[in-house]
Structure 1
Amino acid sequence: MSATVSALTPERLAAADAAPGFMPVDEATALYDVAREYLTTPDSVGVGVEIGTYCGKSTVFLGSAAIESGSLIVTVDHHRGSEEHQPGWEYHDTSLVDPHAGTLDTSARFRRTIFDADLEGTVLGLLARSVDAARVWGRAVDFVFIDGGHSMKAAQADYDGWARWVRPGGALLIHDVFPDPADGGRPPYEIYCQALDSGKFSEVGAHGSLRVLQRA
């Protein structure tokens, strides 16, 4: 498919809309545009990584960008939910609880989303904790999109484990970055600051709470 023709079709938008999740459409569309850009540069290696899949809403946008250039998206999640998805928390969804294990399991809903979006040959789901998957990862990628657990421990592990795999000229994308504490949690903002302070990344875009940092 030509990179000039959008693969973000009405059918894929419908699949993303039907998937449980929290990413606003305008930020998801910006994510698609950014992913498309970094997957089609002359230095592209044809692989992007998402940390934090949930039910695949944002993954559809990444996969749509990847299919245009024959690239791949690897999305990493243990599918047991982050802190805010657990019983008693604001974002707990009882329909996503596995009755056998008695715990959250979003893997089947993710597979349904990717099936409905016709992206099964483009999106590879890696069922593992981010910190464990990072231990066996071994190649450079065009971008890493961090949108996993929002505790400081989880966010720090995502940054420490995955930012180093962004190729020179590639991008580190961080979601839910709120400079004002009144707007949201601090951990994504803290790792965003760490990336800038490292001297390896510079900010090249901001779309709502999505930050785009390019590696030197």
Structure 2
Amino acid sequence: MSKHIELILPIDIDSVKGFLSHAEGEALFRCASTLAQGAVAVEIGSYCGKSSVYLGLGCKATGSTLFAVDHHRGSEEHQPGEMFHDPQLVDDTGAFSTLASFRKTIRAADLDDSVIPVLSSSAQFARAWQGELGLVFIDGGHSLDAALLDYRSWAGSIAQKGLLAIHDVYPGSEAGGQAPITVYRLAMASGLFKEIMSVDSLRVLERL
């Protein structure tokens, strides 16, 4: 990662709901800021846009594009009665929805030209996608089935020297769910990736 582009946050990132540490966000920014002009990144799981800002700023600096993929109805853990449910993110129909918050975040960060929201499930968009990707960030559903589907849907589209970033990789269940680390181990065991960065719970792999 030879390029050095300064991260300047245009918004108060701490005001954006999300589960990404600033150090992890800076790492995502550095990853996106190495993309070639015209390259494409895909983010699986945007929530209210915190990670999208870091990735989007990196893409904006390099003339690349981020597709932010999320159905915005929340993962299993965001539903009523679950550990990470936020009653402030319930829309006027009574359903959990992060879409309005996401759009507000992207607009406030002046990223409408660099971040393209995709209102879809990861697997649906993957079926329609054609072409290679410079970066894939997986932070969608954390059930084992959802995480494996995200990996299997997108890993094959990552170009040589492209990056696969996985969030919430915890070595033990006492720290967090084990689906992301299962995906991480699967990627490493495939022989197609090598780890190049570890920041908090974020792991970044490079396609060989």
TM-score by length of 1: 0.91
2:84 is matched by which residue type in structure 1? Y
Query: 1:39-95, CA deviations, whole angstroms, 9 ceiling, x for partnerless residues?
Result: 14xxx6511110000000010000110111111101100000011110001211111
SS at match of 1:193: helix
Which of 9, 21, 24 in structure 1 is aligned with 2:21?
24
Q: Is the 8 A contact 1:175 1:210 kept in 2?
A: yes
What's the C-alpha RMSD, in Å, of the aligned pairs?
1.4
Is 1:50 the equivalent of 2:50? no
Counterpart of 1:68? Answer: 61
Instruction: State the secondary structure of the residue aligned to 2:10.
Output: helix
User: Map of 1:104-183 to 2, 5 A cutoff?
Assistant: 104-183=96-175
SS in 2 for 1:194: helix
Q: Tell me which amino acid in the other structure corresponds to 1:180.
A: G
1:5–1:214 distance in 2 versus 1, CA, 3 Å? closer
Q: Is the 8 Å Cα contact of residues 106 and 115 (structure 2) preserved in structure 1? A: yes
Residues 137-171 of structure 1 deviation map (CA, whole Å, 9 limit, x = unaligned): 11101010000110001101100101111101101
Partner of 1:197: 189
Aligned 8 A contact 2:75 2:141 in 1: yes
Segments of structure 2 that go 5 or more residues without pairing to the other structure are none
SS of alignment partner, residue 104 of structure 1: coil
How far apart, in 2, do the equivalents of 1:164 and 1:119 lie? Answer: 28
Aligned residue-pair number: 206
Residue matched to 1:98? 91
Percent pairwise identity:
46
Q: Which moved more, 1:180-189 or 1:141-150?
A: 180-189
When residues 10 and 76 of structure 1 are mapped into structure 2, their CA distance, relative to the original with a 3 A threshold, is closer
> What is the rounded CA distance, in whole Å, between the counterparts of 2:9 and 2:58 in structure 1?
14
